[in-house]
C-alpha cells in the first residue's frame, strides 16, 4: 500500500486506478462489523426478508420484515436510527413483506410487496400509500429497471404468469406466459430496458423481450454447455400441464443477478448450485463455473445474490447468503472462495437478504431470520465510543 501511495503522489497511478486498487484490497480483509448498531426500541419480530440502500445518498436503509413491518433507517457511523416505520396497524401490509426497493431515481418513493397479494407504492415524506397493485396471489419479488427508459415493474408471484406493471398508468400492461410453477425471481437487464430474466419454482430460467409477441427469447438449459449443441425446446404449449424438460436448476430458482454487460447471468437454486450463463451464443450456454461445496440453499423464498460494482474493483465479487448462517464471497472470474463470513461460531441464523452500502466501502448489510441486521466489511481499527442508547 505504501508503494501505491508513493506512485499516486508521483503521478504514476491515476486517481481512478488508485481508488480501484484500494477498494480491491478491502475484499481480502473482510469481517463482521460492530458498527453501526441498530436500536432495539422497535425491533423486527421474525425474519428480515428484504433490504435496500438508497442509490443517491447511500445513507438510508429500507427493510421489510416477516411481521409486515417496513422501516427506514438513517445509517451513521455509530448507529442507525429509525426515521420511518410502517406495519399493519398504521396502514402497512397485512402479512409478511417479501421485497422492498427504493425508486432508483428519486428517494421520494419506494415500493414493497407482500404475501397479502399487494405491491404497494409509498410516499417517503409522508409514509402514506400512493398506490397499490393487487396481483391476486402471494407476491414473492419484484424488480425495477435502472436504465430509466420506462416505469415498468416486473413482479413474480405464485401465479405462473410474470406480471408487468406500469407506474404511469397504474395498471398491469403485460403478462409473460410460459413458466410452469410460481415465479420465484425476476431481474431486469442492467442495460437493455426491454430484457428481463425470470426464474420459477420448477427450476426454469427464461429470458424475455417484452416488446415481442412471442416474448421468450431463450430458456436456459443446464445440459447445454457448448454453443454447437442443439437448442432444447418445449413441445407443450399448455402452461402448467406438462413439466418442462428444459431446466436451469433441478429445483426452484430463487436468485438471479446480471453481469453489468448484460451478456451473462448468474442463477442460484434449491439444488444448492450457482451457475453462470453466457447469453451471447444463440440459445445461451452453461459455463460450468464451479463455486465449491459450501453453498447452502434449501429454502424456496427469494434470495438476494449480489455482484460488487464493476466500477469499484479490477475483479468482481459475488456475495451469497448461505443458509447455514455464513455470507460467502466468491471471485466471479473463477469461482474462488475469498471469504466465509460469520458473526461468531455460535451464530447460525440464516441470512435472507443482502444490500450494498456503496461509495467504494466494500460494506454490505444482511438481514437474518431472527430479525437482526448484520454488517460485513473491511476490518475497522478505529476506536468508536458508544452512546448510552439501547442496542442489540
Which tens digit of pLDDT belongs to each residue from 7-49?
A: 555 565 677 777 888 899 999 999 999 999 987 555 556 899 9
99 pLDDT above the threshold of 60:
yes
pLDDT at 239: 46
In the structure grid, which three cell numbers stand for residue 133, read together?
397493485
The domain ranges of the chain are 41-233+240-378
DSSP three-state, residue 274: strand
Q: What is the pLDDT of residues 128-178, one digit of tens each?
A: 999 999 999 999 999 999 998 999 999 999 999 999 999 999 988 889 998
In the structure grid, which three cell numbers stand for residue 219, read together?
430458456
275: Cβ–Cβ under 8 A, 6 or more apart, which residues? Answer: 222, 248, 249, 266, 267, 268, 286, 287, 289
390: Cβ–Cβ under 8 A, 6 or more apart, which residues? Answer: 39, 40, 41
* More confident position, 237 or 185: 185
Residue among 145, 205, 214 at smallest CA distance from 177: 214
392 pLDDT above the threshold of 60:
no
pLDDT at 216: 92
In the structure grid, which three cell numbers stand for residue 155, read together?
413482479
pLDDT at 242: 45
Residue among 39, 28, 20 at smallest CA distance from 373: 39
Q: What is the pLDDT of residues 121-130, one digit of tens each?
A: 999 999 999 9
- Which CATH entry fits the domain spanning 41-233+240-378: 3.30.365.10, 2.60.120.10, 3.40.50.720, 2.130.10.10? 2.130.10.10
DSSP three-state, residue 108: coil
Whole-angstrom distance, CA of residue 103 vs CA of residue 54 = 8
With a pLDDT cut of 90, the percent of the chain lying above it is 75
In the structure grid, which three cell numbers stand for residue 52, read together?
435496500
Query: Comparing 6-10, 311-315, 375-379, which segment has the lowest mean pLDDT?
Result: 6-10
pLDDT at 7: 54
273: Cβ–Cβ under 8 A, 6 or more apart, which residues? Answer: 249, 250, 295
Q: How confident is the model at residue 379 (pLDDT cuts 50, 70, 90)?
A: confident
* More confident position, 368 or 387: 368
Predicted TM-score (pTM) of the model is: 0.91
44: Cβ–Cβ under 8 A, 6 or more apart, which residues? Answer: 63, 65, 66, 67, 69, 71, 371
Q: How confident is the model at residue 231 (pLDDT cuts 50, 70, 90)?
A: confident
Kind and range of the H or E run holding 8:
helix 2-9
Kind and range of the H or E run holding 132:
strand 128-134
Q: How many CB atoms lie within 10 A of CB 41?
A: 10
Length of the chain: 392
Whole-angstrom distance, CA of residue 68 vs CA of residue 145 = 25
Amino acid at each position: 500500500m505504501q508503494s501505491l501511495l508513493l506512485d499516486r503522489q508521483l503521478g504514476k497511478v491515476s486517481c481512478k486506478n488508485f481508488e480501484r486498487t484500494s477498494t480491491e484490497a478491502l475484499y481480502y480483509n473482510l469481517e463482521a462489523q460492530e458498527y453501526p448498531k441498530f436500536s432495539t426500541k422497535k425491533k423486527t419480530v421474525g425474519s428480515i426478508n428484504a433490504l435496500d440502500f438508497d442509490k443517491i445518498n447511500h445513507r438510508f436503509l429500507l427493510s421489510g420484515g416477516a411481521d409486515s413491518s417496513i422501516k427506514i433507517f438513517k445509517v451513521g457511523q455509530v448507529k442507525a436510527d429509525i426515521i420511518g416505520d410502517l406495519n399493519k396497524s398504521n396502514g402497512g401490509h397485512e402479512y409478511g413483506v417479501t421485497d422492498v426497493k427504493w425508486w432508483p431515481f428519486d428517494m421520494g418513493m419506494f415500493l414493497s410487496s407482500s404475501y397479502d397479494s399487494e405491491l404497494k407504492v409509498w410516499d417517503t415524506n409522508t409514509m402514506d400509500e400512493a398506490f397499490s397493485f393487487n396481483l391476486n396471489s402471494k407476491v414473492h419479488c419484484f424488480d425495477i429497471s435502472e436504465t430509466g427508459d420506462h416505469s415498468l415493474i416486473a413482479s413474480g408471484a405464485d401465479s405462473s404468469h410474470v406480471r408487468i406493471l406500469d407506474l404511469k398508468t397504474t395498471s398491469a400492461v403485460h403478462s409473460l406466459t410460459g413458466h410452469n410453477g410460481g415465479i420465484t425471481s425476476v431481474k431486469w437487464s442492467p442495460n437493455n430496458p426491454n430484457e428481463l430474466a425470470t426464474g420459477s419454482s420448477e427450476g426454469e430460467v427464461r429470458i424475455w423481450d417484452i416488446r415481442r409477441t412471442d416474448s421468450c427469447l431463450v430458456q436456459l438449459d443446464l445440459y447445454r454447455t457448448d454453443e454447437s449443441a442443439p437448442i432444447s425446446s418445449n413441445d407443450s404449449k399448455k402452461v402448467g400441464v406438462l413439466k418442462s424438460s428444459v431446466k436451469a436448476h433441478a429445483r426452484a430458482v430463487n436468485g438471479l443477478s446480471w453481469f453489468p454487460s448484460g451478456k451473462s447471468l448468474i442463477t442460484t437454486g434449491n439444488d444448492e448450485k450457482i451457475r453462470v450463463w453466457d447469453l451471447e451464443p444463440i440459445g445461451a450456454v452453461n459455463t460450468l463455473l464451479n463455486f465449491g461445496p459450501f453453498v447452502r440453499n434449501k429454502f424456496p423464498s427469494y434470495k438476494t445474490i449480489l455482484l460488487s460494482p464493476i466500477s469499484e474493483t479490477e475483479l468482481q465479487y459475488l456475495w451469497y447468503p448461505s443458509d447455514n448462517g455464513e455470507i460467502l464471497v466468491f471471485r466471479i472470474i473463477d469461482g474462488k472462495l475469498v471469504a466465509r463470513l460469520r458473526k461468531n461460531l455460535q451464530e447460525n441464523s440464516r441470512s435472507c437478504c443482502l444490500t450494498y452500502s456503496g461509495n467504494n466501502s466494500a460494506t454490505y448489510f444482511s438481514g437474518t431470520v431472527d430479525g437482526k441486521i448484520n454488517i460485513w466489511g473491511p476490518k475497522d481499527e478505529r476506536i468508536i465510543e458508544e452512546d448510552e442508547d439501547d442496542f442489540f
